[in-house]
Amino acid sequence: MVNRINFTHQLKEYLDIFPAVGILGPRQVGKTTLVKLLTNSRKDSIYLDLERASDRAKLTDIELFLKLNEHHLIILDEIQFMPEVFAALRSVIDENRKTGRFILLGSASPELIRKSADSLAGRIGYLELSPFTIDEINVGETLQHWNRGGYPLSFLAKSDKTSMIWRQSFIQSYIERDLGLLGLNADPRLIERFWKMLAHYHGNTWNADNFGRALGVTRPTVNRYLDFMEGAFMLRILRPYLANVKKRLTKAPKVYIRDSGLLHALTDISTFDDLQHNILIGASWEGYVIDQIINIFGDKFNYYYYRTHQGAECDLVLEKSGIVKAIVEIKNTSVPQISKGFTISMSDTKAEKGYIIARISKGFLMKEKIQAVNLREFITEEF
């Protein structure tokens, strides 16, 4: 069992600050399990799963239900099925601003976030529960984590085969059922093609025209699919760092499949041995490292990539309050080297530090302000 103690502490802090806490993330990531473990000892908690008609029926008169249970901690799961709850919560919270009254769990649709933001601004704090991250697992499980990804039932499966079967089933269920329930109205076969194309495009800059032509849809349509998949936590869209106006910069975003296990399932990579002999290994490692860093550091930084038309490039820029705290180059190698493009990127961005994240056992200083590190060392760095 993986102990998600950091997230549990964060949730408790938010419950002490806000009347309502929203926990967002994809299905099967463990939101319900975590909240139930936290609240099992509380006799004053009420749990409703709004995907169930019987539980939705209990909220026929929403305001009455909330007022009758005002001394309880009310947990509303799959809140996107009843967005009208948000308006009722607003009035009930305004009558009693006591903290820790509601926990809302959602499978992360942009529409869900928009409606709750409109109704509960200043009354709700949001947390994102990601799949398991590298700081939550043992050192010896790192390659398994990279190969299988962080979804609990995939990572904890008895074998790579069992894990792959689970991920393939998850993808099919998401395409055929969940995305439609979350609000994406599109032909499931088209979305499956789109998702698989994105997997083979993993780590490249976005070109809507190319995707639109390949799928036989318009540019606005394919951009809508992309935005929706990002909002559903299936994709990571990394935007370019554009502060250097004197250079000709790449301005298109880069696209990644967020979970490495789903990336491998979409591209038929079953085992780590398969991955080692696949052309996608470098892009897979890059996306895996980026996703771990962003999931762990969260909103501590703003995240970008940097690329000029002259060839200067780095994979990740960590910026805070207008200052680039660090730039990162990610290499699937045990012998990292500093490229000319990385050195230029350090100068262009005025970065305080530079890092080459490689598959090495122990980090070392390569040059003034530039270090080679492994991923676990990087996530413990202080900026």
β-pairing, 20-24 vs 124-128, is: parallel
Closest CA to 313 of 294, 293, 331, 325: 331
User: Are the C-beta atoms of 148 and 272 separated by less than 8 Å?
Assistant: no
Domains of the chain and CATH, by start? 5-128 (3.40.50.300), 134-378 (1.10.10.10)
The pLDDT tens digits for 11-46 are 999 999 999 999 999 889 999 998 988 887 777 899
Give the model's pLDDT for residue 349: 94
The CA distance from 321 to 57, in Å, is 47
Helix (H) or strand (E) holding 265: helix 260-266
CB 346 within 8 A of CB 369: yes
At residue 44, the pLDDT reads: 86
> What pLDDT shows up at residue 59?
93
Q: Give the residues of the chain that fall short of pLDDT 50.
A: none
State the angle between helix axes of 110-120 and 219-231 in degrees (0 to 180), rounded to the nearest 10: 70
Classify 25 in phi/psi space as left (phi over 0), alpha (psi -120 to 50) or beta.
left
Do the strands 102-106 and 302-307 form a parallel or antiparallel pair, or are they unpaired?
unpaired
Query: DSSP secondary structure string, 112-165?
Result: HHHHHHHHHTTTEEEEE-PSP-GGGS-GGGHHHHHHH-S-HHHHT-SSHHHHHH
Neighbours of 369 (CB within 10 A): 13
